[in-house]
């Protein structure tokens, strides 16, 4: 890693959400914004907004998944705003689906919120939400799949909602659960559900006859981002866990949990399978492996500085401050696009 000047600031980007604007929420240190990932055997070019907007001119890019997909989209929005101010053209009532347009480039940037990719309903007991979901692993959530025919670049990010108590269904039948502890219900663990959800999503893309993708007669450009692990210390999110470090881990300090590594492996396995199948019909699958790089950045989370008035005392050690380490994901994105589109052309 090395220090570096910022692409944007907490004041120059008007679209930074309040919960990610860590300095505005009182974070006293600033060094976390200046560290930059440096690969060992190659050079990672700096982000260039004009370059990426030229690559995606006339196209539509969608970030599909959980709130970390939204987090990356918000970073990209700030990075691109240095070249052109985007127009906010759509927001649903829950602010789960959002669309921005860069008029000069006719580039559409979307976020499609789906916690599980598959169809899920929350369990409600006596009118009270339980936070536990019934996941139908063989049935996708149509709220995002209906947009696929209009998407050129689909960037997937979905894991964290599987790491809680949920119930798993196939063919309408309960087959097991995740961390439920119910007598007579097999605990299949989050890995099983994550694998099945990504299988269903990627199979759907590879079987989508209406999807035209980045060029006529070709398919969709699909990018899978691997797990960015939570980094709570001294407890979990609801038991006093914190993330108050002010510097990255050194290499000898880095520890990646067994479950985190297992989930990353599952994601890569499903990506490789989908890439082989997708090649047959023109879909391009690429991987953005951020797991190790982000595990070195416990200093980059909002922690206590996320401005939530209703959850005082809780820390956010999952999402990333803006500006912050997550901007690196979009440096990766630009380099992936640069390499693949130059091969494609």
For the chain, give every domain's residue range. 2-344
Which of 81, 260, 319, 327 is catalytic? The answer is 319
Torsion angle of alpha carbons 112, 72, 83, 97, nearest 10°? 20
What number of other Cβ atoms are within 10 A of residue 275's Cβ?
Answer: 18
Catalytic residue list contains 34 = no
Kindly report the average pLDDT of the chain as a whole number.
93
Q: What is the CATH topology of the domain spanning 2-344?
A: Rossmann fold (3.40.50)
Out of 102-116, 218-232, 301-315, pick the least confident. 301-315
**Enclosing H/E stretch for 320:** none
Residue 292 pLDDT > 80: yes
- The 10 Å CB-count burial string (b at 16+, else e) for 187-202 is ebbbebbbbbbbbbbb
Read off the pLDDT of residues 40-75 as tens digits, 9 standing for 90 and up.
888 899 999 999 999 999 999 999 999 999 999 999
Q: Which two tokens stand for residue 14?
A: 């008007």
Residue 344 pLDDT > 80: no
pLDDT at position 308? 78
Catalytic residue list contains 316 = yes
Read off the pLDDT of residues 258-283 as tens digits, 9 standing for 90 and up.
999 999 999 999 999 999 998 877 88
Q: What are phi and psi of 246, to 5 degrees?
A: -120, 5
HSE at residue 319, side-chain half, CA atoms within 13 A, is 26
Out of 78-87, 158-167, 208-217, pick the least confident. 208-217
The residues near 102 (Cβ < 8 Å, ≥ 6 apart) are: 53, 80, 84, 86, 87, 108, 109
Per-residue pLDDT band at 2 (split at 50, 70, 90): very low
Between CA 92 and CA 224, with CA 109 as vertex, the angle to 5 degrees is 105
Between CA 293 and CA 6, with CA 304 as vertex, the angle to 5 degrees is 50
- The 10 Å CB-count burial string (b at 16+, else e) for 288-320 is bbbbebbbbbbbbbbbbbbbeeeeeebbbbbbb
% residues pLDDT > 90 (the chain): 83
| Whole-number Å distance between alpha carbons of 67 and 76 | 14
| Whole-number Å distance between alpha carbons of 113 and 70 | 8
Per-residue pLDDT band at 211 (split at 50, 70, 90): confident
Q: Measured between alpha carbons, how far is residue 204 from residues 220, 264, 288 in Å?
A: 12, 21, 21
Catalytic residue list contains 319 = yes
pLDDT at position 255? 81
Residue 3 pLDDT > 50: no
Contact 77, 109 (CB under 8 A): yes
What number of other Cβ atoms are within 10 A of residue 246's Cβ?
Answer: 12
Which of 158, 260, 299, 316 is catalytic? The answer is 316
Which of 67, 82, 218, 265 is catalytic? The answer is 67
Rounded mean pLDDT of 92-102? 96
| Whole-number Å distance between alpha carbons of 78 and 330 | 11
pLDDT at position 343? 64
Q: Which two tokens stand for residue 140?
A: 């996708």
| Whole-number Å distance between alpha carbons of 103 and 107 | 7
């Amino acid at each position: 890693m090395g220090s570096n000047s910022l692409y944007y600031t907490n004041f120059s980007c008007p679209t930074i959400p309040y919960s990610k604007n860590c300095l505005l929420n009182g974070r006293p240190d600033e060094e976390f914004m200046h560290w930059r990932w440096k690969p060992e055997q190659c050079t990672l070019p700096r982000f260039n907004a004009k370059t990426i907007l030229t690559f995606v001119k006339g196209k539509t890019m969608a970030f599909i998944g959980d709130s970390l997909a939204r987090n990356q989209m918000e970073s990209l929005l700030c990075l691109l705003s240095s070249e052109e101010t985007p127009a906010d053209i759509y927001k649903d009532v829950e602010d789960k689906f959002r669309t921005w347009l860069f008029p000069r480039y006719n580039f559409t940037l979307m976020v499609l919120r789906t916690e599980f990719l598959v169809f899920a309903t929350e369990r409600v007991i006596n009118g009270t939400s339980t936070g536990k979901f019934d996941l139908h692993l063989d049935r996708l959530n149509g709220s995002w799949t209906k947009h696929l025919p209009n998407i050129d670049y689909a960037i997937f990010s979905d894991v964290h909602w599987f790491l809680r108590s949920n119930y798993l269904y196939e063919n309408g039948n309960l087959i097991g659960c995740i961390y439920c502890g119910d007598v007579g219900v097999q605990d299949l663990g989050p890995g099983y559900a994550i694998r099945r959800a990504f299988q269903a999503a990627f199979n759907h893309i590879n079987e989508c006859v209406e999807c035209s993708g980045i060029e006529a007669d070709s398919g969709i450009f699909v990018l899978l981002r691997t797990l960015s692990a939570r980094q709570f210390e001294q407890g979990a999110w609801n038991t006093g866990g914190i993330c108050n470090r002010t510097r990255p881990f050194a290499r000898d300090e880095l520890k990646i949990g067994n479950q985190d590594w297992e989930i990353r492996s599952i994601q890569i396995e499903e990506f490789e399978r989908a890439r082989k199948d997708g090649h047959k019909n023109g879909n391009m699958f690429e991987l953005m492996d951020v797991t190790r790089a982000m595990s070195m950045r416990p200093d980059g989370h909002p922690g206590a500085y996320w401005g939530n008035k209703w959850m005082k005392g809780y820390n956010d050690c999952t999402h990333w401050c803006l500006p912050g380490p997550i901007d690196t994901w979009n440096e990766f994105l630009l380099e992936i696009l640069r390499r693949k589109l130059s091969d494609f052309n």
